[in-house]
Chain A
């Protein structure tokens, strides 16, 4: 294969990396004055990377001697990642302008671009080395973003916690990779799959367990979820929105590719781990969220809960299951970004962000449109029909039932009822409690527009998109099998 063909397949990452470096130079000379220009330009870089997905980057097959695989699965995940990254860039300026402490600096969009580049490498990796380097690129940028508000103690704490626990997770993952490499003699997914197809030695199985433990850490599945609420609460809200969407998609897509592509012949072995992680995440995410008073912590537990539901699709281990995971992620990203866009609008008279659930009281009277949007997101996250979130859960559960995992689906549905309680509590606070002081008016029309788009997407109108989305996720899932 010629060098140019390899480059053409990795074009999205190339666009992001070169764009980030160029914008870094702009911000180095332009200083803080260039923040606005760099932010706008980086959204365009993300659009450019998405356009670069058309062609060999989404259908080319293996590049760089099997290190990287350009297929429909990676392309689908990348589209979600780029959308979430762009929204995280768009919602940052008004948040940072209002809060005390540090202003937005041009490094913020640049770090998000580099993180998106790392996530693209993660979801397209077909070799353990590529996977690890991509993961580190994403994580390292995320650690810095978590503590971006340097004068805020909670932000610094979030960054430090995320860094220490993330490094631990990387260590666990790397240990698993080294075991798998030692016992299979290769880091290529295809070679690892060959090794698992033969006799599964104890070393190979131990490696599988460690790899899945590391991956569970990155997608914050129980029992490796402890860092999530603290990091989500402490990080600046736009960064939290980013963490809850793009890296989640990337890590889950990466886990799916490792499970199916590299360890497909060992499905019976990893299925037990995935089923346990899925059920534990759903139940703990639902139960622990009940006592939360901070909306960001609530959404953190909600993300743990949702990861559990997405893992049910993976546990099925079929193309339908993987397609269900992608469908779930698509709808989850819309619901989560929408919720966080509403959270960013929560600020008192002095312009300071407020994060308590109590401050939402009576929002239906003071800000009816915003309250309606948040109610739609909450109902949808709870999976109540006819909202689109119901279809997401339906897709993964039907895949699990088809794969014969009937008990798993039953327990999952029962636990989603517990989850509905705390989502509905938010709605009740907004609609039936005595009004708290009204929030300051919305400043950014773009954010209002994004909330409206997300709300329409997860409303029953989203069902119109099912034929398109279903065909697309199915094509993406078929690329793995």
Chain B
């Protein structure tokens, strides 16, 4: 009972926020609705017992992708009124895409109901007793450790590459030198004077 209630709650909010993502006038609001949709989709994943995917949704999609979206939307100077003007022009293409997607969903459901594709060999049967985060962790850090470490190296190369291609030394930049700031004493920076009336000040 409580599962059904939770399912309909999450599903309703996902559909609603999905619709509002497209419908809202302000793109920042769109991204906010998108984040809400992601959160509720994560809830649906937890209901079907895929807690790892649920966490990934929250961490990767909400934490990184959606926030990145938000930055892009807020920082780029896009004329949204002009973009909206194109809706009528691209309506046909959008409709065709929607029909194609709907057809794919139908075919997928049809194929699913006829039974799974025959696999030649299953190397790693799924153990129902182990939670899937633990199962992935067991494989990732033992059996696939070598690949995991190599993937770390790939990320290192990506980081080096980004710096090599974009970093340049800028001249004339006023960088903060903290040790010089701290080493500066009051007597170096201030001076006691007693100006005489009518003489002005010496700068």
A residues whose Cβ falls under 8 Å from a Cβ of B: 6, 10, 17, 21, 24, 63-65, 67-68, 105, 107, 110-111, 114, 117-118, 121, 127, 129-130, 133-134, 136-137, 140-141, 143-144, 147-148, 150, 159, 182-188, 191, 194-195, 198, 201, 203-204
Residue B153 is within 8 A (CB to CB) of chain A in the complex: yes
- A21 and B149 CA atoms in complex are apart in Å by 13
Contact B121 A129, beta carbon cutoff 8 Å? no
Q: Which chain A positions have C-beta within 8 A of B145?
A: 64
- A63 and B118 CA atoms in complex are apart in Å by 30
Q: Which chain A positions have C-beta within 8 A of B143?
A: 64-65, 67
Interface residues on B, range: 20 to 34
Contact A137 B120, beta carbon cutoff 8 Å? no
Residue B178 is within 8 A (CB to CB) of chain A in the complex: no
- B contact patch SS: helix
Contact A182 B117, beta carbon cutoff 8 Å? yes
How many residue-residue contacts, CB under 8 A, span A and B? Answer: 94
Contact B161 A129, beta carbon cutoff 8 Å? no
- A65 and B164 CA atoms in complex are apart in Å by 36
Contact B153 A137, beta carbon cutoff 8 Å? yes
Q: Which chain B positions have C-beta within 8 A of A188?
A: 123
Q: A111-B157, A185-B123, A186-B121 known; A144 and B144 CB under 8 Å?
A: no
Q: A67-B144, A201-B120 known; A136 and B161 CB under 8 Å?
A: no
Given contacts A67-B144, A140-B154, A186-B122, 18 further A-B contacts (CB under 8 A): A10-B146, A65-B143, A68-B146, A110-B160, A114-B153, A118-B154, A121-B150, A133-B151, A137-B150, A143-B161, A144-B160, A144-B161, A144-B165, A148-B164, A183-B119, A184-B120, A185-B122, A195-B120
Q: List 23 A-B contacts (CB under 8 A).
A: A6-B146, A17-B153, A24-B160, A67-B146, A110-B160, A114-B153, A114-B160, A117-B153, A118-B154, A129-B144, A130-B146, A137-B154, A140-B161, A144-B157, A144-B160, A144-B164, A147-B165, A159-B165, A182-B119, A183-B117, A183-B119, A186-B121, A201-B118
Partner pick for B147 among A133, A150, A194, CB 8 A cutoff: A133
B residues whose Cβ falls under 8 Å from a Cβ of A: 117-123, 143-147, 150-151, 153-154, 156-158, 160-161, 163-165
Contact B156 A198, beta carbon cutoff 8 Å? no
- A191 and B123 CA atoms in complex are apart in Å by 8
Ranked nearest first, the 10 interchain pairs of A and B with the lowest CB-CB distance are: A144-B161, A186-B123, A195-B120, A185-B121, A64-B146, A185-B122, A185-B119, A133-B150, A107-B164, A140-B157
